[in-house]
A and B are shown apart, each in its own frame.
Chain A
Amino acid sequence: MKDINILAIESSCDETAASIVRNGRTVLSNVISSQIDLHTLYGGVVPEIASRKHTENINPVVREALSTAGMKLSDVDAIAVTYGPGLVGALLVGVSFAKAVSFASGKPLIGVHHIEGHISANYIENKDLEPPFICLVVSGGHSHLVKVKDYGEYEILGRTRDDAAGEAFDKVARAIGLGYPGGPKIDKVSKEGNPDAIAFPRAKVEGSVYDFSFSGLKSAVLNYLNQCEMKGENYVRADVAASFQKAVVDVLTEHSMTAIREAGMKKFALAGGVASNSALRASMEEACAKEGIAFFKPSPILCTDNAAMIGAAAYYEYLKGNFSTYDLNAVPALKLGER
């Protein structure tokens, strides 16, 4: 069979990314231009600044993706682009650019769901991973427990009712003076702390075993900090970080294992930015090993927002002939499994 090379573009948040992916599994290039330093000044991603930066970055990023892969646009079989969910202004840069490239090159266009991309990141390094499996997608904007029934077919088992897991990391990191981005900073500091030092709550959502709620946990951390302050006591930052992280990881692990058992699945995969959290990886690996479940996770570089994962997801749409038309729009609140 002929090789299918897809040029994928991702601009849903603060990374401008482009990649060439062959047959959905082989990454020929994976270029990511991060704007994190710019947004750190503001303590979080500023949508307008992100959108402006994408406009500046998109040509060099796409050019580099092609040149690293040793390809010209004419060698590519399709143009894939993230069209949601994400920041609308940021998404629009990638979507508008990709549509114009598709139009001018005559190559088909494939709109890809960002979360579907994160899930598909697992296909890249695990050549034998195939659906069905359970996937936990956790990032700054998302916390989803998903049953991957087939390529492009998903059933959402649970989602967060309030903050995304990564959002909780960011907020707690800010509160204990670690700054932005919170995830990697808490991960690092926690290694020096005692995860059992403080008993933060493991929140359950009534009537829904798979849903998450992290705002209560975040409030518990803030209350704890306030109480320390009122009593004039110093808190141990590493202990707070480690105990908070443990509380998040425990809930994510427990819900995931319940889903695996209930669905009778033998495979589990992590995905999304928070999937590079070392405590979560260790916890899920251990829990899966205990029950004989095959555990998959992308390398940290494929956990973060990238375009290779978009190219991986797009390949399976390509095979099905699911192409987008030129009225493809950015959909900031796009639901998984929706088109």
Chain B
Amino acid sequence: MKIIAIDSSGMTASVAITEDDITIAEYSVNYKKTHSQTLLPMLDEVSKMTELDLNTVDAIAVAKGPGSFTGLRIGSATAKGLGFTLDKPIIEVYTTDALAYNMYGTDRIVCPLMDARREQVYTGIYRFKRSDDGFDLETLLKPSALPVEEVVKKINELNEPVIYLGDGVPVYKDKFDALTCVDHVYAPSHRNRQSAASVGALALKLYKAGRYVSSDDHVPEYLRLSQAERERKEKEDT
């Protein structure tokens, strides 16, 4: 089972080629350069380097959201173009699920944080639950856009040690330090950002469970309306 995995939901651009329980290649860049320029050259590079025969690819995995609207669309449009051309399905993975998967096997709860602007973060809360083949990712809070205070409130209510990670950490660290009442740590540099290898690993599980869509049907999950729609709705409500 060979998967091309893509995550361009945040500041990190990441592509990976995974085959069953091996990551054949992963290329991640955390540098302020537009994903639209870097993502495909990165995929081209790893494909050449690993002599990838595109005809052997079984599925395309993509971080479907939440995240930067534009970033998500670059990833989705790329995944759709690959799926369309190769006639392969898309495995949609929540960005926060994949981030949590970076912490595979921890006995702490995991709380990914992505800066969502407007004093909010895209987040979720997860726990690894022992299963027959290792651990399953259990969702305690589904992917959401929430104010920082509300996230911490939920963490405190769960009253368990927690790991925070994601690009929301440097933005709101002071707040998390001040408000978190449980034992909390932050993931280190090699695990604290989006990783397409994590997207690919989680995608394999989803694929085996029959959870994939056609490239026609795939669209990002933004979790938020556009500003124009939001304002229009507010006007209608009042």
Contacts and interface: CB of A to CB of B under 8 A. Distances in A.
Interface of A: 41-42, 46, 48-49, 51-52, 55-56, 58-60, 62-63, 73, 88-89, 92-101, 103-105, 325-330
A97 B78 contact: yes
A55 B69 CA distance: 11
A13 to B, nearest CB: 15
Q: Is the interface of B mostly helix, strand, loop or mixed?
A: helix
A330 B70 CA distance: 12
Contacts of B36: 92, 95-96, 329-330
B139 to A, nearest CB: 25
B38 interface: yes
A326 B15 CA distance: 15
A53 B170 CA distance: 33
Interface string B32-64: 001011111101100000000010000000000
A100 B78 contact: yes
Contact of B40 (A42, A46, A58, A327): A327
B222 A104 contact: no
Contact of A89 (B41, B69, B85): B69
B232 interface: yes
Contacts of A99: 40, 78, 81
Interface in B203-238: 215-216, 219-220, 222, 226-229, 232
A212 to B, nearest CB: 29
Contacts of B80: 55, 58-59, 97, 100
* Most chain A CB atoms below 10 A, which of B69, B73, B77, B222: B77
B226 A52 contact: yes
B84 interface: yes
A52 B225 CA distance: 10
A101 B85 contact: yes
B228 A96 contact: no
A86 B86 CA distance: 29
Contacts of B226: 46, 48-49, 52
B34 A329 contact: yes
A104 B82 contact: yes
A327 B38 contact: yes
Contacts of A73: 85
A274 to B, nearest CB: 25
29 contacts: A41-B232, A42-B228, A46-B226, A48-B69, A48-B226, A51-B73, A55-B77, A59-B84, A59-B215, A63-B84, A88-B70, A89-B69, A89-B73, A92-B73, A93-B73, A95-B36, A96-B39, A97-B78, A97-B84, A99-B40, A100-B79, A103-B43, A104-B81, A104-B85, A105-B85, A325-B41, A326-B40, A326-B41, A329-B37
Contacts of B151: none
A92 B74 contact: yes
Nearest to B69: A48
B76 interface: yes
B69 A96 contact: no
A96 B85 CA distance: 13
Contacts of A58: 77, 80
Interface of A is mostly: helix
Contact of B81 (A56, A60, A101, A325): A101
Which of B36, B79, B215 neighbours the largest number of chain A CB atoms within 10 Å of its CB? Answer: B36
A55 B81 contact: no
A154 B198 CA distance: 48
A96 B78 contact: yes
- Per CB-CB distance, the 6 closest pairs between chain A and chain B, nearest first, are A100-B81, A96-B77, A48-B226, A104-B85, A326-B40, A97-B81
A325 B38 CA distance: 11
B206 to A, nearest CB: 21
Contact of B220 (A42, A46, A55, A326): A55
Nearest to A56: B219
Residue in A51, A52, A96 whose Cβ sees the most chain B Cβ within 10 Å = A96
A164 B39 CA distance: 34
A89 B78 contact: no
A324 B37 CA distance: 12
B227 A48 contact: yes
B77 A92 contact: yes
Nearest to A49: B226
Nearest to B42: A326
Given A96-B39, A96-B40, 19 more contacts: A42-B228, A48-B228, A49-B226, A49-B229, A52-B219, A52-B226, A55-B219, A62-B84, A63-B84, A95-B36, A96-B73, A96-B78, A99-B78, A100-B79, A100-B82, A101-B85, A103-B43, A327-B41, A329-B37
B232 A42 contact: yes
A280 B155 CA distance: 65
A56 B76 CA distance: 10
A199 to B, nearest CB: 38
A21 to B, nearest CB: 19
A92 B232 CA distance: 26
B69 A103 contact: no
